[in-house]
Amino acid sequence: MEQMDQLNQWIRDYNDRLRYVAYTYVRDHNRVEDIVQEAMVQAYLSIRQLRDPERPYPWLVRIVINLCLNTNRKYRREQPTDLLPEQRGRSTEDIYLQQSRDKEVYAAIIGLDEKFRTPIILYYFEDLSVREIAYALKLSEGAIKTRLARGREQLKSALTRGESDDLGNTYSSSKANLYTR
């Protein structure tokens, strides 16, 4: 396949997925646009570094994450201003949350620290293997396994905490109702 055909195919196949991965890093719709476009340019220019043409996605994710980390470093000081457009209307984050079948778990995942959140997203949402995640994040497979395990632990405790908070709220409400009566 010609290089340009290949690029076109990747854009068709992976545009939405790469945008989602980028969004979890930068949380800004405009930057996501920029990052995915730049990632495709980089992929085109370095196409010969692609080891497994049958499975280019982990390589593309790696490029996207690199760009996200660079963008975050660059914009760190300006972040509050850049978040303003998202705050005016319904944020992209809200849309993703609404699209989730388990909003409670989704919110907990998004609340995780980046080092645990990304492996969880790549493994459970994006179906990447531990090896592929290690490649994408430039870490060892052992580190990814540890982060997945710790991410799951943190999710479990966040969800348990949420449940007991819910119970607490119900109890308080009931008590309040009693008093009102």
Partner 1 sequence: MTLETRIRQAKPTYIHADPERTAEAVMVRLQELPKTGRLQSVRRRVRTAGLITASAVVAGLCILGAGFVNPAMANALSKLPLVGSLFDQAGDTGLKSAAERGLTAKVNASQTHDGVTFKISEMMYDGTRMSMVLTRETNDGDNPSLKKWSDATTEETIAMWKKQGKEASMIEVRADGKKLNVSTALASDILHNNSSILTVQPNVAEMHTTSFDLPDAFNLEVVIRDATIGRYFTLSFPVKKTTSQSIVLASEETKSYNGLVMRIKKFEMTEATSQLEVNLSGKAEAELEELGVSLMYDIRNERGESADLMSGSGSAGAAPVTYVNTAEFTPFSSLPKTVTVKPYLLKGTEKEYIPELAFTLPVNK
Q: List residues binding partner 1 (CB under 8 A).
A: 2-5, 7-8, 11-12, 15-17, 19-20, 33, 36-38, 40-46, 48-49, 51, 63, 92, 95-103, 105-106, 109, 120, 124-125, 134-135, 138-140, 152, 155-156, 159
Q: Which two tokens stand for residue 15?
A: 């545009």
Select 17 or 115, whichever has its Cβ closest to partner 1.
Answer: 17
Residue 43 contacts residue 60 (beta carbons within 8 Å): yes
Select 1 or 178, whichever has its Cβ closest to partner 1.
Answer: 1
Select 12 or 181, whichever has its Cβ closest to partner 1.
Answer: 12
Q: Which two tokens stand for residue 49?
A: 């570094």
Work out how close the CB of 101 gets to partner 1 at its nearest, in angstroms, rounded to a whole number.
Answer: 5
Q: How far is CA 163 from CA 61, 99, 128, 135, in A?
A: 34, 22, 30, 36
Select 156 or 175, whichever has its Cβ closest to partner 1.
Answer: 156
Residue 117 contacts residue 109 (beta carbons within 8 Å): yes
Work out how close the CB of 41 gets to partner 1 at its nearest, in angstroms, rounded to a whole number.
Answer: 5
Burial level of 116, CB count in 10 A (0-12/13-18/19+)?
A: buried
Work out how close the CB of 111 gets to partner 1 at its nearest, in angstroms, rounded to a whole number.
Answer: 12
Work out how close the CB of 40 gets to partner 1 at its nearest, in angstroms, rounded to a whole number.
Answer: 5
Q: How far apart are CA 139 and CA 137, in angstroms?
A: 5
